[in-house]
Chain A
Amino acid sequence: MASGKRDLLPGTLDMLILRTLSVSPMHGYGIAQHIKRLSRDVLQVDEGSLYPALQRLRQRGWLKAEWRRTPNNQRARYYTITAEGREQLGQEEAGFGELIAAIQRVMRGAT
C-alpha cells in the first residue's frame, strides 16, 4: 500500500457514504472523489468495495438510486439518501464517536 493511504476501519465505509450523500445526491465516482478530497487523499475508496456497498445500502432501504444526466450530459446513476438512511447515519455517527473517544482514551493512557 502506498504511503499516505490508509485502510478504512471495517464498517466505516457505509457511514462515509451516507454522510457524503447527506450533503447532496451524487453518483458513485462523485462519492469516491468526495471522500478522497475531504480526507485529503488519505482515504481512497476503490470501486471494488464502493459499488457492492452501494447495492447493499440500497437493499437495506437507506439509499435510492436513479439514472440522471451529469452537467456534462453523460448518463450516470445518482444515489439519494432516504429518511431511514439519515436515521441510520445518526446512529452510526454516535457509535463511531464513542468508539473513537474510547480508542483515544486507551492510546493516551498508554503513552
Chain B
Amino acid sequence: MTLTEVWNRLRDRLRRDQLTQELDEELRFHHAMLQRDQPERDARQTLGNMTSHMENSRDLWSFGWVDDLLQDIRYAARGLRSRPGFTIAVVLTLALGIGANAAIFSIVDRLLFRAPPMLAHPELTNRVYVAQSDRGREGVWPGMSYGRYLELARWTTSFAHTAAFTTQTMAVGVGDDAREMQVAAVNASFFELFDAPATIGRYFTSREDTPPNGTPVVVLSHALWQVRFGARSDAVGASLQIGPTIYTVIGVAPAGFAGLSTTLPPAVYIPISSYAATSGYQGEPGDEWWQTYHWNFAQMIAERKPGVTVAQASADLNNAYRRSYAVQRDASPEIPPVERARPRAIVASVLAERGPNASRVAKVATLVGAMAFVVLLIACANVANLLLARALRRRREIAVRLALGVSRARLLTQLLTESVLLALLGGAAGLLAAQWGGGALKSLFLPQDAATGVVRDPRTLVVAGGAALLAGLLTGLAPVWQSRRADLTNDLKAGAREGGATQHRSRTRGVLLVVQGALSVVLLVGAGLFVRSLWHARDLRLGYDVNPVLIAELNMRGVKLDSARAVSLRQQLLERARTLPGVERAALHMSVPFWKTLDGRNGIGVDLRVAGVDSVDRLGEFYLDAVSPDYFTTLGTRILRGRGIGEQDAGDAPGAMVVSEAMAKVLWPGADAIGQCVRVVTYGRTAGSTPCTYVVGVAEDIKSQSLSEDRNYHYYLSSAQFHPQQAGLFVRMHGDAGPQVETIRRALQALMPGASYVTVTPFADVIGGQMRSWRVGATVFVAFGALALLLAAIGLYSVIAYNVAQRTHEMGVRIAMGAKVGDVLGLVVGQGLRLGIAGVVIGGTIAYSGARWVKPLLFQESARDPAVYALVAAVLLAVAVVASYIPARRAARVDPNIALRAE
C-alpha cells in the first residue's frame, strides 16, 4: 500500500456513510440507464445484486483490523456495563496494584534514576566523594575543604568542567520577610555544567567568585523571582539580604532549574567565595578558607571530557588526591602517613541518594518498588481468577460462537481486548489513587519535596500505562489459555453446571490462589520484620529524652559579640527560657546528637592527655560538649556516679568534666574515674601549660552518630570554663514539646540583638530522621502486606464460593445420603486450608531464602525471626479458614430437595 492509498483509505473510513450513500445513488443511476437501454433485462435480478456490490465496495473503505478492534471494544464495553459489580471489583483491584506501582515509581525514579533537570551531559557528570581510612576503618564523605577542591581540580586532566558547591539553610530577606531557605553557594563554573540560559540577566563570572571575598551577587531561582519580585524584570539590580550579607540580584535561573537537588530546590545561587568569606570561619594567615584542609564544607561536581571513562577519571583523581594529601602532611606532620590514611577519591553518580553507596532510604525505596510489583502480580492473579470464573460461566456462549464459525483467533482477541480494557480502566483509576495516596508516600520518602503529583509526570504516566497493559495481558492470558482447549460438544451440552473439564480448570485457579497466598506471605514477613525493627529502634535507650525537648539555635548573622557579651546573652536567654510557662528546665549545649556533634580532636584540635594512656585518640572518637548546670536533668541523661556539671564549676573553679560510662571504662579500666586528671589541650597549647580538668561524674552512654554505634565516647565540660564559639539551648517542656515551638521562639527572639535570630526545633524531628528508613519500611510494608492479604482473601473467597455454587448438586447428594453439616463444612474449609498451607510453605521458603537481601535494612532484627514467620503463617491460615467458612456455611445449608431438582 502506498502512503496515498493508506491516507485515502483512512479518509474514506471516516466518511464511510457518505460514500455508501453516494455509491447507492451511483448504482441506481447505473440501473436506471440499463433500464432505458436494455428494458428486457430482469430488474429484480440486478437490484438483488446491488447489496453484494455495496458490500464489495464497503470493504474498500473500511480498515479490517481497526474495525474489528472497534467492534471488539464496543462488545467488551457492553459486556462490562452489563455486569457492573464484576467490572468494579476488577477495576478496583487493578487500580490498587497499578496505583501502588505508579506512586512508588515516581519516588524511586526521583531518588535513583532521573538526572537533575537541564544537566548538559548527565552521563558524563559525577559527584566526587573522598575517602580516608582511620584505624583500619574507611570513612567516605561528600564534603572536602576548598583547598582540597582547588588541588583536585588543578591536578586532574580528565574533566571538562569542575565546580565546588554547598547547600545551606540561611535566612533570606530582612525583618518579617526573613525566611529560612535553601541557599546554593556555587562556583561560577557550576552553571557551565547545565544547559540552562538565564531567564533574565546573567549568571556570575569567575571574576565575581574569587577568594578572599568574592562579590555579593545573587542569581534568583525562578520560583523566588515570582514570589518575591512578582516576576518583574527590574528585579535585576535589586538588593536581597542573605545571611549576614546584602547581595545584588544579577539574574534569574530558568523555571525548572534546581541545581543538583532532586528534592528541595535552592531558592538562590550565590558565589561560593562570598558565602565562605562571610560564614564565620576564621582561618590563620596562610590557612585561610580557600587554603585550609580543615573546613570540609564544599562538595565537588565534575563533568568528564568525552571519551574519558569513570575508571580513568578515578585513577586521575586518586593521584591528585594523594599528591594533595602529601602536601597537607608536609605542613602538618601529625596526620597519619599516606599508607595508613589511604586517601581515595570516588567518582560516583550525580544523584546524591545513589552516592558511592546507596543510602538506606534509597535501598528501602528499591525494595518497596519490588514490593509494589508483587502487589501488582497479586492483583493480576486475582483478576485472572475473576476473569476465569467469568469465562467458565460464558463457556456456552463461547461454544456457540465457535460453532457459528467465529475464528478462534478472533475470539482470543476479543477476550484479550476485554481484559486490556479492564486493565486500562484500572490504570486510570490507579493513577487517581496514586495522585492521592502518592502524596502520603512522598511525604514519607521525600519529606521536604514540593514537586508535582504523578498525573502531571510523563515518566510516571508511561510506567502506569505499561503496568496497565502488562496487567491486561497477564490477566487475559488465563481465560485465553482455557478457551484454547474448549471442548465444543461438551460445552454445548453442559448446562451452567461444570462438566468433565472442570477439574482441570479449578486446578489453574488453585495454582493462581497459591501464588497469591505465597506472595502475600512474602510481603507480610517483610512487614513483620520492618515493624519489629522500628520497635527495636524506638525502644532503644538513646541516653536522653527526646519528646519533651526543644532545641533553640542562635544565628548571629552579622552581629559580632565579644566573648563576655556572648556569655551574658546566653545567660539572659537561659534565664528567660526558665521563666516561660510550660518550661520545666533549660540548659546550654554546644552539640546536638545526630545534628551537630563535635569530634574534639578532628573538629577543633582538642587533644586529650591522660596519665598512663599513650595516645587517647587511638582508642576511638571522643566527642566534646560544653554544657551549663542542669544539662543532664534537662536532657534526661542519667548520672551514674558522682555529679553533673553544676553551679560550682564556675570560671575560676578547678576544671570539671563529666565522662560517658564507656569513656570511663576505656581510659581507666578497673579504676574509679571520679577525681582523675585529664589535660584538655586546646589548639596551639602544650600539655605542660594545660592544667588538670578533674572528672566529677560519669554519665550513661548516649547515641550521637548512629543507632548502632560503638567506640564513640563523650565528655562534657562546663560552659563557664570552656567558652564555645557557638552555643544553643535545650529546653525541656512539661509534656510534649512539639506544639510549643512558636511560643518559645517568640519569647527568645525578643532578646536577640540586631538581625540575629533564633530557630526552635523539636528534638524529636532531629531523631525522627534516624528512624525514617525503618518507619518508611514498616509503614509501606504493612500497608502493602495488608493490601496483599485483602486481595488474597477476596480471591480465596470468590474461588471457594464459586466452587460451592458449582457443587450445589453434589452437596445436595451428600446431604441426602446422610452427610453431617460438619462433614460438608470440613470438606469446603479443608479445601481453602490446603490452598492456604501451600501458600504459606512456598511464600515462607521464598522469604527465607531472600532474607540476606533484607538483613542490612533491618535493625537488631534477624531476617529469619521465627516469631514473624509463625505469626504470618497463623494470619494467612486464619484468613483462609474465614474466607472458606462463609461459603461452606452456605453449602451446609443446601436443601437436598432443591439441589437435586435444580437441573
Contacts and interface: CB of A to CB of B under 8 A. Distances in A.
Q: Tell me, yes or no, whether A binds B.
A: yes
B60 to A, nearest CB: 5
Contacts of B37: 33
Interface centre among A52, A59, A67 (most CB of B within 10 A): A59
B53 A56 contact: no
Contact of B60 (A59, A61, A75): A59
Given A29-B33, A75-B29, A47 B53 contact: yes
B708 interface: no
A51 B5 contact: no
A25 interface: no
A2 to B, nearest CB: 13
Contacts of A3: none
A48 B59 CA distance: 13
Nearest to B61: A55
A77 interface: yes
Main secondary structure, interface of B, reads helix
B9 interface: yes
Contact of A48 (B5, B32, B49): B49
Interface in A25-65: 27-29, 32-33, 47-48, 51-52, 55-56, 58-61
Interface string B38-50: 0000000000010
B706 interface: no
Nearest to B54: A51
A60 B4 contact: yes
A28 B30 contact: yes
B9 A77 contact: no
Contacts of A77: 22, 25-26, 29
B304 to A, nearest CB: 54
A51 B271 CA distance: 78
Given A59-B12, A60-B2, A75 B30 contact: no
Given A55-B61, A77-B22, A29 B30 contact: yes
Contacts of B30: 28-29, 32, 47, 51
B57 interface: yes
Contacts of A75: 25, 29
Contact of B56 (A33, A52, A60, A61): A52
Contact of A59 (B5, B23, B32, B56): B5
Given A47-B53, A48-B49, A29 B34 contact: yes
B27 interface: yes
A24 interface: no
A59 B4 CA distance: 7
Interface in B11-33: 12, 19, 22-23, 25-27, 29-30, 32-33
Contacts of B332: none
B407 interface: no
Contacts of B34: 29
A106 to B, nearest CB: 33
A111 interface: no
A74 interface: yes
B61 A28 contact: no
Interface in B601-616: none
A62 to B, nearest CB: 10
A60 B1 CA distance: 9
B52 interface: yes
Contacts of A61: 2, 4-5, 8
- Looking at chain B, what size class is its interface with the partner chain? 20 to 34
Nearest to A61: B4
B53 A48 contact: yes
Nearest to A46: B49
A28 B61 CA distance: 18
Contacts of B5: 59-61
A71 to B, nearest CB: 13
A47 B34 CA distance: 11
Interface centre among A27, A28, A29, A61 (most CB of B within 10 A): A29
A75 B53 CA distance: 20
- Looking at chain A, what size class is its interface with the partner chain? 20 to 34
Given A47-B53, A48-B49, A52-B57, A59 B8 contact: yes
Contacts of A47: 27, 30, 49, 53
Nearest to B8: A59
B60 A76 contact: no
A75 B29 CA distance: 8
A56 B19 CA distance: 13
A58 B8 contact: yes
Contacts of A52: 53, 56-57, 59-60
A32 B33 CA distance: 11
A101 to B, nearest CB: 29
Contacts of A29: 29-30, 33-34
Contacts of A76: 26, 29
Interface centre among A55, A74, A75 (most CB of B within 10 A): A55
Contacts of A60: 2, 4-5, 8
Contacts of A58: 8
A28 B33 CA distance: 11
B47 to A, nearest CB: 11
A67 B22 CA distance: 9
Nearest to B2: A60
Nearest to B32: A74
Nearest to B22: A77
Interface string A69-111: 0000011110000000000000000000000000000000000
A102 B398 CA distance: 54
B29 A48 contact: no
Contacts of B61: 55, 59
Interface string A10-32: 00000000000000000111001
Interface in B361-390: none
B182 to A, nearest CB: 62
Contacts of B19: 55
B56 A48 contact: yes
A55 B8 CA distance: 10
A75 B32 CA distance: 12
A67 B29 CA distance: 12
A59 B57 contact: no
B60 A55 contact: yes
Nearest to A74: B29
Nearest to B9: A59
A55 B25 CA distance: 14
A58 B5 CA distance: 9
Contacts of B8: 58-61
A67 B26 CA distance: 10
Contacts of B26: 27-28, 51, 76-77
Given A28-B26, A47-B53, A56 B60 contact: yes
Interface string B208-227: 00000000000000000000
B440 to A, nearest CB: 56
A28 B37 CA distance: 15
B634 to A, nearest CB: 89
Nearest to B26: A77
Contacts of B33: 29
A74 B32 CA distance: 11
A32 B170 CA distance: 90
Contacts of A67: 22
B25 to A, nearest CB: 7
A10 B389 CA distance: 52
Interface centre among A48, A74, A75 (most CB of B within 10 A): A48
Interface of A: 27-29, 32-33, 47-48, 51-52, 55-56, 58-61, 67, 74-77
Given A47-B30, A52-B57, A61-B5, 11 more contacts: A28-B30, A47-B27, A47-B53, A51-B27, A55-B61, A59-B4, A59-B8, A59-B12, A67-B22, A74-B29, A75-B29
In order of increasing CB-CB distance, the 5 nearest A-B pairs are: A59-B8, A61-B4, A29-B33, A52-B56, A55-B60
26 contacts: A27-B26, A27-B29, A28-B30, A29-B29, A29-B33, A29-B34, A32-B30, A33-B37, A47-B27, A47-B30, A47-B53, A48-B53, A48-B56, A51-B27, A51-B56, A51-B57, A52-B60, A58-B8, A59-B4, A59-B5, A59-B8, A59-B61, A60-B2, A60-B8, A61-B2, A74-B29
